[in-house]
Amino acid sequence: MIPAAFEYHRPDSVEDAVKIISDHGDEARVVAGGHSLIPMMKLRMTGLSHLVDLQGIGGLKGISVDGGTVTIGAMTTQHELIADDQLAASAPIIREAALQIADPQVRYMGTIGGNVANGDPGNDMPGLMQCLAATYTLVGPSGERTVSAREFYEAAYFTAREDDEILTSISFDASASGYAYEKQKRKIGDYATAAAGVLISKDGGSCSAASIALTNLADTPIYCEEAVAKLVGSSLSGDDISAAVAAAVGASDPSEDNRGPVEFKKHAAGVVVRTAIERAIERA
C-alpha cells in the first residue's frame, strides 16, 4: 500500500498554491485532510507527481457567522464543525450530518472543502450543501468566482472546479428552519446506502419553505425540486409528505453495488426522506 512517488509542497498562501497547481497541470493535486485522496493514492488509482498540502495556509480555516451569512473555510475539519456552538445554532443540520460521517479519527482530519470538492457520490457534505443552497468560492489563476452547490456536481468525480482552481470557502444563509439529516448505512463509519437532508419552515399551519437533497442515490447529489414543490404551500399532511417522498424517490437514480440492488436503494431512499421530513417538521 505504498503510493507512487511525488514531490511535496506546503505553500503558505492561496496564490502560491494556485501557482504550483497551474504550473504542473493535472500532474498536481492539492491535499486537505487526505482521507479520500491518500486511500486512492495507496491503491494507485490517482496518479500525481506534485502534492500541494493546504495545511500551511492559515486563511483557509475557520467558521464565521456575519449578519445571517455563515462562511466556512475549506480547511475546517469535520471535528471543528461539530465542536462549533455558533455553527450549531446557525445551521444545526451540519452537526447532525457531520456526526454521521466516518469515525472520530477521520473527522479530525477530513475537511469540509475536501468533502465537497472530492466529487465522490458517497460524500455526505455535497448533498448537505445543496440542501442549504450553499455557494462555493473558487480561486484560480485568473481570480475568484463562485458556484452554487446545486450546480457544482456534473458526474462522479467531475465537478465545475477547474484543475487549477482551489476551493477556498463555502457560504450559506443561517436558518431557523426545522432540519434533519438522515443516513442509512451498513455500519458506523460507512458511506450512505441512502441519505437525505431536509429543511422545513412553517408559517401557521402551512409550509412556507423547504429544501430536500439526496446523498449517494445517483452519481451526483440530487436537489429534489419537485419534492420541494409538493411541500411548499401545503399543510404538511400525510398525503403531502407521501407525495414529496414519491417525488424524491422518483428523482433518485441509484445503481447496484455492494450496498444493494436498485430496488432496495430506492426503498431506502423513501425511508430516509420520509424520516428526515417528519423530523424536520417536528423541529420546525
Partner 1 sequence: MEKMHLKLTVNGEQVETLAEPRELLIHVLRERLDITGPHIGCETSHCGACTVDMDGKSVKSCTVFAAQANGADITTIEGLGNPDGLHVLQEMFKEHHGLQCGFCTPGMITRAYRLLQENPDPTEEEVRFGMAGNLCRCTGYQNIVKSILAAAAEMNAAKEAAQ
If the CB atoms of residues 38 and 243 are measured against ligand FAD, the closer one turns out to be 38
The option from ligand FAD, partner 1, none interacting with 42 (CB < 5 to 8 A, set by class) reads: partner 1
If the CB atoms of residues 101 and 212 are measured against partner 1, the closer one turns out to be 101
H or E element, residue 147: strand 143-148
If the CB atoms of residues 8 and 67 are measured against ligand FAD, the closer one turns out to be 8
Query: Does the protein bind partner 1 through residue 40 (CB under 8 A)?
Result: no
Alpha carbons 242 and 230: distance in angstroms, whole number: 9
Alpha carbons 57 and 157: distance in angstroms, whole number: 25
What Cα–Cα distance (Å) separates residue 58 from each residue in 14, 73, 215, 251?
10, 10, 31, 40
Least distance (Å) between residue 39 CB and partner 1: 6
Query: Does the protein bind partner 1 through residue 150 (CB under 8 A)?
Result: no
Query: Does the protein bind partner 1 through residue 189 (CB under 8 A)?
Result: yes
Alpha carbons 70 and 64: distance in angstroms, whole number: 6
Dihedral angle sign, alpha carbons of residues 165, 57, 130, 99 = positive
Query: Does the protein bind ligand FAD through residue 33 (CB under 6 A)?
Result: yes
| Vertex 100 angle, CA 99 and 102, to 5° | 100
Q: Are the C-beta atoms of residues 92 and 176 closer than 8 Å to each other? A: no
**Angle, helices 238-251/262-283, rounded to nearest 10 degrees:** 140
The option from partner 1, ligand FAD, none interacting with 108 (CB < 5 to 8 A, set by class) reads: partner 1
What Cα–Cα distance (Å) separates residue 116 from each residue in 12, 161, 186?
22, 11, 22
Name which position in 16, 20, 22, 34 contacts partner 1 (CB under 8 A): 34
| Region binding partner 1 by CB under 8 A among candidate stretches 28-36, 87-95, 147-155, 217-225 | 28-36
Alpha carbons 29 and 34: distance in angstroms, whole number: 11
Name which position in 69, 105, 146, 206 contacts partner 1 (CB under 8 A): 105
| Region binding partner 1 by CB under 8 A among candidate stretches 50-58, 112-120, 146-154, 248-256 | 50-58
If the CB atoms of residues 109 and 133 are measured against partner 1, the closer one turns out to be 109
Query: Does the protein bind partner 1 through residue 79 (CB under 8 A)?
Result: yes
Contacts with partner 1 by CB under 8 A lie at: 1-8, 10, 31, 34-35, 38-39, 41-42, 51, 53, 55, 79, 102-106, 108-109, 188-189
